[in-house]
A and B are shown apart, each in its own frame.
Chain A
Amino acid sequence: MHIIESGNVAAATGVKLARAQVIAAYPITPQTPLTEKLSEFVESGQLAAQYIPVESEHSAMAVCIAASTAGTRAFTATSANGLLYMVEQLHWAVGARLPIVMCVANRGIGAPWTVWNDQQDSMSQRDVGWIQLYANDHQQIIDSVLKAFKLAQTVSIPVMVCYDGYLLSHTYMPFDRPEQTEVDAFLPPFAPTHFLDPENPGNFNTVTLPDVRPGVDGTLQPGYIEIRHNLHQDLRAALATYEEIDREYAERFGRGGTPFVEPYRCDDARFVAVAIGSLSYQLRDVIDQLREDGLAIGVMGVQMYRPFPDEAIARALAGKECVIVLEKALSYGNQGPLYGDIKSALYRLENRPVLHNYILGLGGREIRTQQLLDVLARSCANPGEIEDTPRWIGLKLQEEHHG
C-alpha cells in the first residue's frame, strides 16, 4: 500500500513490520521523529515491543546489546554525536556478534555544533565491523530496514541503515508499505543458538586470551584473534548473503536487484560520478542534463559501504575514463573515505580510470545543481592524472585550495 510520509516514519514503519521486540533510543536531531513514532506504535498497541527511553545513546546500545544477547530482536536509532557517544558499544555489539539494527539519520558532527546533514558520523564508523547500508530515498529506507534485520540475523552481525538527515529524514515522499503477512514470510522470528538462558548457562564476552585454550570438555577453543578473524571472514561472506537476501526481497516485493551499487546511465558512460545517499539521486538530474549536452556520463550510488563491495565496484567502473567521487565526509588529513576505498578496489584493473575526489555539503551546506554541473563538466573535460587531494565544492570566503 502506498503512503506519503517522512523518511523517519518510513524507517519506523519498517521497524514495526519487522516486529522489533526491544527498542531503546535517546532523542537527537534529526533522528527524533523516528523514535517518537516508534513510541507511539508501542504505546498504542500497534507494535508489541518494549520501548525503553534510555538516558543516553551509550545506554541505548547497551539495552540493545543485552536484549539481543537474551534472544530478542533489538533496534535503536541515532545521529551524529549520539552515534559517536555509543562508539564503544558499537565495537561491543559486533564483537559479541549481535544482530542489532540501527538507523542513522546522517548529520554533521561537532565541534562546532551543526544539526544539518553530512555523512561524517556513520562514515567515520566504517572500521568497527558493522554492516553499513545507505538509502537513497524513502522507499529504500523502509526496504533497507527490512533487509537489514534479515541480513543481521543471518550473518550475526549488526547493521546500520543510514539515510541523510533532513533531506530524507524530514521530507515527505510516497513509498510502498509492504503487507505484514509478506514481511512475516520474508523475515522469520529471531531464534539464536546461544542466548542468556538459566537452563543452559553460559558466560558471554569473557576475557579471551591471546592464544587458544582448552574448554571444559577439553577441546581447544579460539583465542581473540581467531574470533576476530571469523568476524572478518563472515563480513566478507555477508556480501554474497546480502545479494541473495536482496534477490529474495526483489522477488517478493518487486524492488531491489542492485544490492551494492545502483548505476544510472553507466553502461555506455565514459565518465561516472559516484556518491552515497540522496546525493546520488540528486546527481541523476545533473547526469540527464549533461547527457543532453552530449557528455557520456553516468552516476553510481553506493548502497552498501561495509563490507565494501569492491568487486561489484570494480566491475561497474572497469574501462571508464574518469570516476568522480563526491563525498559528504572526509578522512581528515587524507581523502574522502569512499575515494580511498574505490581507489583500492580499482588497483588491480589493467586500465584504471582516472579518479577525482570532491568534498561537499559538510554541515548541511547546500549542494546546488549548477555546482554539480560545473564540476562534473570540468572533470570530464580534463581528466588529466589521478588527483589524490580532494577538491572542495562551494567554499565561500576563502580560496579553494586544491588539497
Chain B
Amino acid sequence: MAEKTTIVNLTEEEFVHSGNRACTGCGLSIVYRMGLKALGKNTILVVPPSCLTVLQGLYPVASTKLPCVNVTFASTGAAATGVRGAMKALGKDDVNVVAWAGDGGTGDIGIQALSGACERGEDIIYICYDNEAYMNTGVQRSGTTPQGVLTTTTPIRGKLQAKKDVPAIIAAHGIPYVATASAAYPLDLYDKVKKATTIAGPKYIHVHTPCPPGWNFDTRYTIKVGKLAVETGLFDLYEIENGVFRLSAPSQRVAGGKRRPVKEYFATQGRFKSLDPELVEQIQQQVDAKWATLAAQAA
C-alpha cells in the first residue's frame, strides 16, 4: 500500500479558486479541495445540480481549475460513462473521469444511472459528498438524511425513516473499490481518492460532509462535528477493495473501544433538537449492535 500522506508532504497545488460562493465553513469545500489535489490536473469532472454547482461559480467565471461538464440531475453516472467513452474513442486513456455529486443526486434521483455505470464496469471515479439533505435547495430531506433530523420537509417530528446506506447498495454491484471518508479526515480522503485513480473500473467514494447552515451548527465546528460522527460510530470509515472490507484508521480506533455516546454528536447540531431520549436510546442500541458485528470482523 502507498505511503500515507501527511500534512507536510501534501501537495500545495490547489485546483479550487478562493472567493467562490460556497457557504462559510462549508464541508464540501474541504472535501472538494482535497479530492482535486488527489486527482490532479489530468482530470475531467462531471457535476449534476448540487451545492457544488454553486461552489463552481456562475457563468462566465469558474472556481475550478479543471475541465468540467455540468449535467442534468439524474444523469451523472451516465454522463461520466459518456466522457470515458469519448476518452477511449480518442485514445486518451490516462485521464481521470470523475463524477462528483451530492447525496440526493447520488442516492435518490441519480441512483439508476450510477447503478448502470457500476454494472457496466465503467472506468470512472464517483464521489458522493453526503451532507444528508438537499442543501442547495434549502435543506429538504433526502434518502440519506438520518432518522430524527429536522429538515424543511420534516419540520416538526424530524425524518421518520433511517438513513439509506448508499455505499452498501453500490458495493452490492461488486465493483473493485468502495470507500467511505469524511471531510473531517482530509488526509484519509486524499489517500482514498489517490488510490481510486490507480484502480481500473468503477470506484465509489462516499464522503460524510458536515454542513453548518443545514445541520445548524457554528461554522467553526465543521471538523469537530465530522469527527464526532466517526467517533460516536454513527458514520464509519472503511474501504471495500475487491470485496475485502477493511475499517480505516479512525474507525479502527472506534472498534478498539474508544467509542463515544451518540448523544454527544446529536447535542452539537440544531437539526437533532426534536430527538426524544427514547429515540436516542434506540439509535444508540442500533449503533452498539452494528459495532458488535464490526468489532468481531475487525478482530
A and B touching (C-beta < 8 Å)? yes
B66 in contact with A55 (CB, 8 Å):
no
In the complex, what distance in Å separates the CA atom of A88 from the CA atom of B81? Answer: 18
Which segment of A68-76, A103-111, A340-348 sits at the interface?
A: A68-76
Known: A59-B75, A67-B89, A70-B87. A198 touches B82 (CB 8 A): no
Find chain B residues with CB under 8 A from A114 CB.
none
9 A-B residue pairs with Cβ-Cβ distance under 8 Å, sorted by A, are A59-B77, A61-B75, A69-B69, A89-B72, A89-B75, A198-B41, A198-B67, A201-B66, A203-B62
Answer whether residue A232 sits at the interface, using C-beta atoms and an 8 A cutoff.
Answer: no
Residue of A nearest to B15 (CB): A201
A213 in contact with B58 (CB, 8 Å):
yes
Query: Would you give the shortest CB distance from A50 to chain B, in whole angstroms?
Result: 4
Answer whether residue B79 sits at the interface, using C-beta atoms and an 8 A cutoff.
Answer: yes
Given contacts A52-B82, A67-B86, A71-B86, 14 further A-B contacts (CB under 8 A): A22-B89, A58-B72, A64-B82, A65-B75, A66-B82, A69-B69, A70-B69, A198-B42, A204-B69, A207-B53, A208-B59, A209-B58, A213-B59, A213-B60
Beta-carbon contacts of B57-96 to A below 8 Å, as 1s and 0s?
1111110111111111011011111110111111000010
B44 in contact with A62 (CB, 8 Å):
no
Chain A: residues with CB nearer than 8 A to chain B? Answer: 21-22, 24, 48-50, 52-56, 58-72, 74, 88-89, 92, 196-198, 200-209, 213-216, 221
Residue of A nearest to B63 (CB): A203
Find chain B residues with CB under 8 A from A89 CB.
72, 75
In the complex, what distance in Å separates the CA atom of A144 from the CA atom of B81? Answer: 28
Find chain A residues with CB under 8 A from B78 CB.
24, 54-56, 58-60, 62-63, 66
Known: A89-B72, A201-B67, A204-B70. A63 touches B82 (CB 8 A): yes
A70 in contact with B83 (CB, 8 Å):
yes
User: Of A22, A198, A206, A209, which one neighbours B95 at CB under 8 angstroms?
Assistant: A198
A59 in contact with B72 (CB, 8 Å):
no
Residue of B nearest to A64 (CB): B82
Find chain A residues with CB under 8 A from B89 CB.
21-22, 48-50, 67, 72
A55 in contact with B59 (CB, 8 Å):
no
B60 in contact with A50 (CB, 8 Å):
no
B66 in contact with A198 (CB, 8 Å):
yes
Residue of A nearest to B48 (CB): A62
B75 in contact with A209 (CB, 8 Å):
no
In the complex, what distance in Å separates the CA atom of A197 from the CA atom of B61? Answer: 17
User: Of A53, A63, A198, A209, which one neighbours B79 at CB under 8 angstroms?
Assistant: A63
User: Of B46, B53, B60, B120, which one neighbours A52 at CB under 8 angstroms?
Assistant: B120
In the complex, what distance in Å separates the CA atom of A24 from the CA atom of B77? Answer: 13
B113 in contact with A59 (CB, 8 Å):
yes
A216 in contact with B61 (CB, 8 Å):
yes
Q: How large is the interface on B (under 10, 10 to 19, 20 to 34, 35 or more residues)?
A: 35 or more
Find chain B residues with CB under 8 A from A62 CB.
71-72, 75, 78-79, 81-82, 113
In the complex, what distance in Å separates the CA atom of A48 from the CA atom of B61? Answer: 37
A92 in contact with B71 (CB, 8 Å):
yes
Chain B: residues with CB nearer than 8 A to chain A? Answer: 41-44, 46, 53-54, 56-62, 64-72, 74-75, 77-83, 85-90, 95, 112-113, 115-116, 119-120
In the complex, what distance in Å separates the CA atom of A61 from the CA atom of B69? Answer: 14
Find chain A residues with CB under 8 A from B119 CB.
55
Query: Would you give the shortest CB distance from B174 to chain A, in whole angstroms?
Result: 16
In the complex, what distance in Å separates the CA atom of A197 from the CA atom of B77? Answer: 20
Known: A198-B41, A203-B70, A207-B53. A52 touches B75 (CB 8 A): no
- Chain A residues touching B, majority SS: mixed
In the complex, what distance in Å separates the CA atom of A54 from the CA atom of B80? Answer: 12
Find chain A residues with CB under 8 A from B95 CB.
198
Query: Would you give the shortest CB distance from B97 to chain A, in whole angstroms?
Result: 9
A58 in contact with B60 (CB, 8 Å):
no
Residue of A nearest to B62 (CB): A203
In the complex, what distance in Å separates the CA atom of A242 from the CA atom of B81? Answer: 32
Residue of B nearest to A24 (CB): B82
Find chain B residues with CB under 8 A from A196 CB.
44, 67-69, 83, 86
User: Of B42, B65, B88, which one neighbours A50 at CB under 8 angstroms?
Assistant: B88
Find chain A residues with CB under 8 A from B53 CB.
206-207
User: Of B57, B77, B80, which one neighbours A203 at CB under 8 angstroms?
Assistant: B57
Closest A-B pairs by Cβ, 5 of them: A66-B82, A59-B78, A55-B116, A70-B86, A62-B75
B85 in contact with A22 (CB, 8 Å):
yes
Query: Would you give the shortest CB distance from A27 to chain B, in whole angstroms?
Result: 14
Find chain A residues with CB under 8 A from B115 CB.
55
Q: Which of A61, A63, A92, A201 has the most CB of B within 10 A?
A: A63
Known: A54-B81, A66-B83. A198 touches B58 (CB 8 A): no
In the complex, what distance in Å separates the CA atom of A65 from the CA atom of B82? Answer: 7
In the complex, what distance in Å separates the CA atom of A45 from the CA atom of B157? Answer: 60
Find chain B residues with CB under 8 A from A206 CB.
53, 56-60, 62, 70
Query: Would you give the shortest CB distance from A87 to chain B, in whole angstroms?
Result: 11
A209 in contact with B59 (CB, 8 Å):
yes
A59 in contact with B83 (CB, 8 Å):
no
Find chain B residues with CB under 8 A from A48 CB.
89
Residue of A nearest to B49 (CB): A207
Find chain B residues with CB under 8 A from A203 CB.
56-57, 62, 64, 67-68, 70
Find chain B residues with CB under 8 A from A216 CB.
60-61
User: Of B41, B64, B79, which one neighbours A65 at CB under 8 angstroms?
Assistant: B79
User: Of A49, A64, A204, which one neighbours B68 at CB under 8 angstroms?
Assistant: A204
Q: Which of A24, A72, A214 has the most CB of B within 10 A?
A: A72
Known: A22-B85, A59-B78, A66-B46. A221 touches B120 (CB 8 A): no
A67 in contact with B85 (CB, 8 Å):
yes
User: Of A60, A88, A208, which one neighbours B72 at CB under 8 angstroms?
Assistant: A88
